[in-house]
Structure 1
Amino acid sequence: MKHRIVVLGAGYAGAWGAGNLARRLSPADTEITVVNAVPDFVERMRLHHLAAGHDLAFRTLSDVFSGTGVRLRLGRVTGVDPERKTVTLTGEGGGHGEHGEGELAYDTLLYTLGSSVAQHDVPGVAEHAFDVTGLPSALRLRERLARLGTGGSVLVVGEGLTGIEAATEFAESRPDLCVSLAARGEVGAWLSPRARRHLRRAFDRLGITVHDNSGIDAVEPGRAITADGRSLAADVTVWSAGFAVHPLAAGSGLEVTGSGRIVVDRTMRSLTHPDVYAAGDCAYAIGENGKPLPMSCATAGFTAQQATAAITARLTGRPVPLTGLKYYGNHISLGRRDAIFQMVDAPRAGQRPPRRHRRDRRTRRGHRGVRSRRRQSHLPARHRRHGPAHSPGRGLATTPPRYARPPHLVTQVRPRWSPHPDTRPPRRQVSQGHARRIAPNLCDLHSA
Structure 2
Amino acid sequence: MAENTHVVVVGGGYAGVMAANRLTQRDDVAVTLVNPRTAFVHRVRLHQLVGGSDAAVVDYREVLAEGVRLVAGTVARIDPGARRVTLASGGTVGYDYLVYAVGSGSADPDVPGAAEFAHPIATLEEARRLRPVLDAAPKTAAVTVVGAGPTGIETAAELAEQGRAVTLVCGGVLGPYLHTRGRRSVAGRLAALGVSVLDGSRATVTAVTRRAVRLADGREVPSDVTVWTAGFGVPDLAARSGLSTDAVGRLLTDETLTSVDDDRIVAAGDSAAPSGLPLRMSCQAAMPLGARAADTVLSLIAGERPEPLKQSFGAQCISLGRRTGIFQFGNRSDVAVWLHVDGRLGARMKEAVCKGILKHLSDEAHRPGGYRLHRSKGNTSRQKALDAQQAPVRATTRPAA
Same fold (TM over 0.5): yes
Q: Does 1:314 align with 2:315?
A: no
2:313 aligns with 327
1:3 aligns with 5
Q: Could you tell me how far 1:31 is from its partner in structure 2?
A: 1.3
Q: Deviations over 1:369-424 (max 9, x none)?
A: xxxxxxxxxxxx9xxxxxxxxx979xxxxxxxxxxxxxxxxxxxxxxxxxxxxxxx
2:57 aligns with 58
Q: Could you tell me how far 1:163 is from its partner in structure 2?
A: 0.7
1:49 aligns with 48
2:26 aligns with 25
Q: Aligned partners of 2:176, 2:77: CA distance in 1, in Å?
A: 40
1:78 aligns with 76
What residue identity is the alignment partner of 2:30?
A: E
2:340 aligns with none
For the Cα contact (< 8 Å) 1:305–1:323, is it kept in 2?
no
1:264 aligns with 253
For the Cα contact (< 8 Å) 1:293–1:299, is it kept in 2?
yes
For the Cα contact (< 8 Å) 2:313–2:330, is it kept in 1?
yes
For the Cα contact (< 8 Å) 2:251–2:273, is it kept in 1?
yes
Q: 1:286 to 1:169 in 2, by over 3 A?
A: farther
Q: Aligned partners of 2:26, 2:110: CA distance in 1, in Å?
A: 44
Q: Could you tell me how far 1:6 is from its partner in structure 2?
A: 0.3
Q: Aligned partners of 2:60, 2:86: CA distance in 1, in Å?
A: 21
Q: 1:392 to 1:113 in 2, by over 3 A?
A: closer
Q: Could you tell me how far 1:111 is from its partner in structure 2?
A: 0.6
For the Cα contact (< 8 Å) 1:293–1:327, is it kept in 2?
no
SS in 2 for 1:307: helix
Q: Deviations over 1:197-251 (max 9, x none)?
A: 1011111111100111211122110111112332111110000001001112112
What is the RMSD computed on CA atoms of the aligned residues?
2.2
Asked which structure has the greater CA Rg, the reply is 1
Q: Aligned partners of 2:282, 2:127: CA distance in 1, in Å?
A: 18
Following TM superposition, the consecutive aligned residue runs of length 4 or more in structure 1 with deviations greater than 4 angstroms are none
Q: Aligned partners of 1:223, 1:137: CA distance in 2, in Å?
A: 20
For the Cα contact (< 8 Å) 1:62–1:72, is it kept in 2?
no
Question: 2:228 pairs with 219, 239, 248, which one?
Answer: 239
Q: 1:49 to 1:315 in 2, by over 3 A?
A: same
Q: Does 1:196 align with 2:183?
A: yes
SS in 2 for 1:314: helix
Question: 2:291 pairs with 301, 305, 308, which one?
Answer: 305
Q: Structure 1 regions of 5+ residues with no counterpart?
A: 92-100, 349-380, 382-390, 394-448
Q: Aligned partners of 1:120, 1:275: CA distance in 2, in Å?
A: 34
Q: 1:312 to 1:38 in 2, by over 3 A?
A: same
For the Cα contact (< 8 Å) 2:270–2:286, is it kept in 1?
yes
Q: Aligned partners of 2:55, 2:310: CA distance in 1, in Å?
A: 32
Q: Aligned partners of 2:93, 2:177: CA distance in 1, in Å?
A: 44
Q: Aligned partners of 1:181, 1:282: CA distance in 2, in Å?
A: 28
Structure 2 length-normalised TM: 0.79
1:412 aligns with none
Q: Deviations over 1:299-336 (max 9, x none)?
A: 10121111111111221234423463012221111112
Q: Structure 2 regions of 5+ residues with no counterpart?
A: 335-358, 360-365, 369-401
Q: 1:199 to 1:70 in 2, by over 3 A?
A: same
Q: 1:315 to 1:66 in 2, by over 3 A?
A: closer
Q: Could you tell me how far 1:83 is from its partner in structure 2?
A: 2.0
1:430 aligns with none
SS in 2 for 1:268: coil
What residue identity is the alignment partner of 1:237?
A: T
Q: 1:41 to 1:347 in 2, by over 3 A?
A: closer
Q: How many residues align?
A: 334
SS in 1 for 2:88: strand
Q: Could you tell me how far 1:262 is from its partner in structure 2?
A: 0.8
The structure whose RCO (Cα within 8 Å, separation 6+) is larger is 2
Q: Aligned partners of 1:197, 1:221: CA distance in 2, in Å?
A: 32
1:165 aligns with 154
